[in-house]
A and B are shown apart, each in its own frame.
Chain A
């Protein structure tokens, strides 16, 4: 049987099709969410169905997740991204104890039990300072695409960014530029500040098992390197970390079918 997961986030809509018999991902994609989250979710799903050459109607179940989960009319069920990231992480890295996910507008740390079940989780506050949105802001100010930011951050010597708020940090960065601080040092400073915030969140959960890092920010090797350094431990990163939520949603869908069959 083939199932799918759709994860509509604030920045990107992701979808994964999964074959339950082969226990294998058939296709995955991520596209910009734009202003219409329902449409973006549908489009992402139709792209993966085309790639996998599976007609959408033949999907046995579709599970929706992410902030847009409530606006998807075609899903069998909607589940929060916390549960989905936990499922995705356990499937890819069975020894995972703690999942860290940094998305476009929030970051979360999820503690897993022995069976991969969610035991506890912490999310950041009503604030974008520790999230991908902060990097988008930085990319705008420095006029540097996201890929280049990572390289710049590795080259720079981190300046301290004290603002706990993305909006105030922007003011602070403008000030630093005015005093002649190099973009590399600023990029390094911002990366480090996000890493430190994420680790502060993560350290509120007692360490156990392996660390797995997911979400759009995990696509940046520079960021993963800094995170692992700050934690003092290796960090698992999936080949396509942005798809972790959609993968988890597809896995939840496969469980739904198994339950129905019983």
Chain B
């Protein structure tokens, strides 16, 4: 993509750690977070900077395997490995890490995670009223913990401001990703991964929002040439586990084999941006409600994932659904079987599940599956 505002995101990303450390030197506190169930709004309302932590690279996995089982999910091993090697600048800058008991692998890994002070949110695994009340209490505990640790007061007004800010960020990112609804899409799946990944590390949310808005404006105004053959590329929705830069190999393979990844239904993509927090309701309840609705496979049952996919298949004129599972991620692996049934029988679309890790060792095997899948279309 030749586009000035896209380049600008890349350039700003290179300065990111510098900006973060400047903010820290000026007295700002930093809260590191791993999971989409962690509410950035509460950290923002505490005057702190919420940042994503590293966990999408293969390099850090060998260090983690000295402590963790090899068959564990690569995302968990990678995250832990960055701690072991002390090689994530965002973790190094964090005053506190907020984590969730998202899945069995993660919660037991956090018991070994002694690189930084850790606050655990106990995530319920059903989306009903009891769970919601419990989840709100967890958020209340996080508020109290941040108030005590950072010696601040989190007011309702500050929470409301943070909610408005994060909603604007969601909308700005969604506006960029929604451009892929066009035929042909002006943006590739790999570019989308790069954009959502890089902007999730910006210490100043306003800077990130402005950049995303510029990008949506510039790309939206571009005259995308038809007749380049691109409009005939099969349009693929990728759902499932989180994907970031370094763990984007399947997105890359699909596009190298001639597919167009138009929709990323994962934690940094549409799971993050599809739903907004109610700005008018009582803030903690509104936050608890929005975050509990994240359609991760750890939820049982997990109806919102099916609703989301149904809607996105229509909005993005999707030709086929690819479900990505990391090795050792049991919840997504098991859910794949009912998702397959749903996609094939109800949505009448071809479905392919891919189970892999972050390494490049199975590239040829994956290529056969992906090419054959695209040949079906």
Is B368 a contact of A120 with CB atoms below 8 Å?
no
Is A120 a contact of B344 with CB atoms below 8 Å?
yes
Q: Which one, B344, B361, B362, B376, contacts A118 given CB within 8 A? A: B376
B375 on the A face (CB < 8 A): yes
A4 on the B face (CB < 8 A): no
Say whether chain A's binding surface is mostly helix, strand, loop, or mixed: mixed
What's the Cα separation between A120 and B345 when bound, in Å?
12
What's the Cα separation between A123 and B368 when bound, in Å?
10
CB neighbours of A117 from chain B (8 A): 376
Measured CB to CB, the closest approach of chain A to B360, in angstroms, equals 13
Is B365 a contact of A118 with CB atoms below 8 Å?
no
Chain A: interface residue count, which band? 10 to 19
CB contact under 8 A between A106 and B372, given known A120-B344, A120-B350: no
Is B375 a contact of A79 with CB atoms below 8 Å?
yes
CB neighbours of A125 from chain B (8 A): 355
B66 on the A face (CB < 8 A): no
What's the Cα separation between A83 and B375 when bound, in Å?
7
A7 on the B face (CB < 8 A): no
Listed A/B pairs (28) with beta-carbon separation below 8 Å = A67-B368, A79-B375, A80-B372, A80-B375, A81-B368, A81-B372, A82-B372, A82-B375, A83-B372, A83-B375, A83-B376, A106-B365, A106-B368, A117-B376, A118-B372, A118-B375, A118-B376, A119-B350, A119-B376, A120-B344, A120-B351, A121-B372, A123-B365, A123-B368, A123-B369, A125-B355, A126-B361, A126-B362
CB neighbours of A67 from chain B (8 A): 364, 368
Chain B: interface residue count, which band? 10 to 19
What's the Cα separation between A79 and B373 when bound, in Å?
11
CB neighbours of A80 from chain B (8 A): 368, 371-372, 375
What's the Cα separation between A119 and B364 when bound, in Å?
22
CB neighbours of B372 from chain A (8 A): 80-83, 118, 121
Is A126 a contact of B368 with CB atoms below 8 Å?
no
The 7 closest A-B pairs by CB, nearest first: A82-B372, A80-B372, A80-B371, A83-B375, A118-B376, A80-B368, A126-B362
Measured CB to CB, the closest approach of chain B to A117, in angstroms, equals 7
CB neighbours of A126 from chain B (8 A): 361-362, 365
Question: Footprint of B on A, CB under 8 Å?
Answer: 67, 79-83, 106, 117-121, 123, 125-126
Residue of B nearest to A83 (CB): B375
What's the Cα separation between A187 and B351 when bound, in Å?
37
Say whether chain B's binding surface is mostly helix, strand, loop, or mixed: helix
Measured CB to CB, the closest approach of chain A to B332, in angstroms, equals 16
CB neighbours of A120 from chain B (8 A): 344, 350-351
Interfacial residues of chain B within 341-377, with CB under 8 A of chain A in the complex: 344, 350-351, 355, 361-362, 364-365, 368-369, 371-372, 375-376
What's the Cα separation between A121 and B351 when bound, in Å?
10
CB neighbours of B362 from chain A (8 A): 126
CB neighbours of A81 from chain B (8 A): 368, 372
CB neighbours of B355 from chain A (8 A): 125
What's the Cα separation between A79 and B375 when bound, in Å?
8
What's the Cα separation between A121 and B361 when bound, in Å?
22
What's the Cα separation between A83 and B372 when bound, in Å?
6
What's the Cα separation between A123 and B344 when bound, in Å?
18
Measured CB to CB, the closest approach of chain B to A75, in angstroms, equals 14
Known: A80-B368, A120-B350. 15 other contacts (CB 8 A): A67-B364, A67-B368, A79-B375, A80-B372, A82-B372, A82-B375, A83-B372, A83-B376, A117-B376, A118-B375, A119-B350, A119-B376, A121-B372, A123-B365, A123-B369
Measured CB to CB, the closest approach of chain B to A26, in angstroms, equals 26
Is A82 a contact of B368 with CB atoms below 8 Å?
yes
Interfacial residues of chain B within 289-312, with CB under 8 A of chain A in the complex: none
Measured CB to CB, the closest approach of chain B to A201, in angstroms, equals 13
What's the Cα separation between A67 and B362 when bound, in Å?
12
What's the Cα separation between A121 and B375 when bound, in Å?
12
Measured CB to CB, the closest approach of chain B to A84, in angstroms, equals 10
CB neighbours of A118 from chain B (8 A): 372, 375-376
Measured CB to CB, the closest approach of chain B to A64, in angstroms, equals 12
What's the Cα separation between A120 and B344 when bound, in Å?
9
Residue of B nearest to A110 (CB): B372
What's the Cα separation between A117 and B368 when bound, in Å?
17
What's the Cα separation between A81 and B365 when bound, in Å?
12
What's the Cα separation between A119 and B351 when bound, in Å?
9
Measured CB to CB, the closest approach of chain B to A9, in angstroms, equals 12
Measured CB to CB, the closest approach of chain B to A126, in angstroms, equals 5
Residue of A nearest to B353 (CB): A122
Measured CB to CB, the closest approach of chain A to B350, in angstroms, equals 7
Residue of B nearest to A124 (CB): B365
What's the Cα separation between A82 and B375 when bound, in Å?
9
